[in-house]
Amino acid sequence: MLNQIVLVGRMTRDISVNKSSNGSKVATLCLAVPRSFKNSEGVYDTDFIDCVLFDIVAENTAEYCNKGDIVGVKGRIQSRIVEEGEKKENTIEIIAEKVTFLSSKKHEEAE
């Protein structure tokens, strides 16, 4: 069996690294990923996908990438149950195992 996903998109915001309750570093990256086909109105829709980054992947992405940069994310899909009061909701998220920096404004400004 295989649980693997590859996404390429633009970062919708700068990310910041926080510490989780178990002491690991964690950040959430939101990617805007345009669909490869037009909708009935002739427009390309965009999906906004949250990716969770841990430890060194989170640190490096926060340091070298900003809002608007294009990145590639390789990872896996994970589902978990989130409880709010008596309500339980199944949440699906992308756990990023590798982030590739494809374009960076910092890099373009340095040239």
What one-character-per-residue DSSP string does 61-102 give? HHHH--TT-EEEEEEEEEEEEEEETTEEEEEEEEEEEEEEEE
Tell me the pLDDT tens digit for each residue of 18-46. 998 888 999 999 999 999 999 999 999 99
Q: Under CATH, domain 5-110 is a member of which superfamily?
A: Nucleic acid-binding proteins (2.40.50.140)
Domain parsing of the chain, residue ranges: 5-110
In Å, what is the CA distance from 43 to each residue of 1, 5, 23, 56?
Answer: 35, 25, 44, 37
Is the per-residue pLDDT at 1 higher than 60?
yes
- How far apart, in whole angstroms, are the C-alpha atoms of residue 50 and residue 31? 6
Tell me the pLDDT tens digit for each residue of 75-98. 999 999 988 888 999 989 999 999
pTM beyond cutoff 0.95:
no
pLDDT of residue 110: 39
pLDDT band at 104 (very low <50, low <70, confident <90, very high): low
